[in-house]
């Protein structure tokens, strides 16, 4: 949520509040405003006031496991979001890849259409999942500074107006990007990870 734009009538989503640590959520199930798209053959479960994802640990370099949870509500155009994301541990056996961390997704429509910000131990990236590009992914911005060590909590904020997006972390702007090619302007908010145990908490949205 940005105070720069003087948001009025901020809606605090209590999707993450009140979730007690408990049993794993099954793929396809819905809980407190969340839907488990896939669990990566591992675990998705409530964790205190947050949601924890831990896919199965990859045992070789040619194997990966991902977990994805999205809001059951598709948010309209002009929705801004703020959420706390933490990569607790990279769980790949051997050397982990830097992108195997917590991803924050927005304007999610399906697994091939969404935006994402990835806070990596060696930098960061903002990307668009887009089938029109090789690998279904287009990088909109990236950098090697700042870096985001494993184990810390980061407050991620995203603002979007049409195809213009601003991403901030802990109150500092990380990037402003413009998508001029078929921008996604509405959709769900997503929590994603590959080969890492991650936790998300305190989701808030506003317009």
- DSSP notation for 110-160: ETTEEEEEEEETTEEEEEEE-TTSGGGEEEEEEES-S---TT-EEEEEEEE
**Listing from the earlier edge strand, what are the strands of the sheet with 137-143?**
30-31, 34-38, 66-71, 188-194, 102-110, 113-120, 123-129, 137-143
Q: What is the mean pLDDT of the chain?
A: 90
Whether this prediction's pTM lies above 0.85 is answered by: yes
* Average pLDDT of span 77-99: 96
Under the banding of pLDDT at 50, 70 and 90, the label for residue 178 is very high
More confident residue, 140 or 11: 140
The pLDDT, as a whole number, for residue 207 is: 80
Under the banding of pLDDT at 50, 70 and 90, the label for residue 11 is very low
What digits encode the pLDDT tens for the residues 104-117?
A: 999 999 999 999 99
The pLDDT, as a whole number, for residue 9 is: 31
**Which two tokens mark 182?**
């078929």
* Average pLDDT of span 59-79: 95
Under the banding of pLDDT at 50, 70 and 90, the label for residue 21 is low
110 burial type by CB count under 10 A (0-12 exposed, 13-18 middle, 19+ buried): exposed
Sequence ranges of the domains in the chain? 30-206
More confident residue, 93 or 167: 167
What digits encode the pLDDT tens for the residues 138-158?
A: 999 999 999 999 999 999 999
CATH 3.40.1230.10 fits 30-206, yes or no: no
Residue 7 pLDDT > 80 = no
């Amino acid at each position: 949520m940005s105070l720069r734009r003087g948001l009025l009538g901020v809606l605090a989503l209590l999707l993450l509040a009140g979730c007690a640590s408990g049993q794993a959520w099954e793929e396809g199930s819905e809980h407190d405003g969340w839907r488990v798209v896939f669990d990566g053959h591992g675990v998705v479960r409530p964790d205190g006031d947050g949601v924890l994802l831990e896919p199965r640990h990859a045992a070789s370099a040619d194997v990966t496991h991902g977990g994805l949870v999205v809001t059951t509500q598709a948010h309209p155009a002009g929705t801004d979001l703020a959420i706390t994301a933490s990569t607790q541990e990279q769980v790949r056996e051997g050397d982990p890849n830097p992108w195997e961390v917590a991803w924050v997704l927005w304007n999610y429509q399906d697994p091939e259409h969404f935006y994402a910000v990835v806070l990596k131990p060696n930098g960061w990236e903002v990307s668009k999942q887009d089938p029109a590009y090789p690998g279904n992914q287009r990088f909109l911005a990236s950098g090697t500074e700042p870096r985001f060590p494993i184990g810390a909590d980061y407050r991620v904020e995203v603002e979007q107006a049409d195809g213009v997006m601003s991403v901030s972390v802990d109150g500092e702007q990380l990037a402003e990007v413009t998508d001029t090619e078929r921008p996604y302007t509405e959709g769900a908010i997503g929590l994603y990870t590959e080969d890492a145990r991650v936790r998300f908490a305190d989701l808030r949205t506003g317009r």
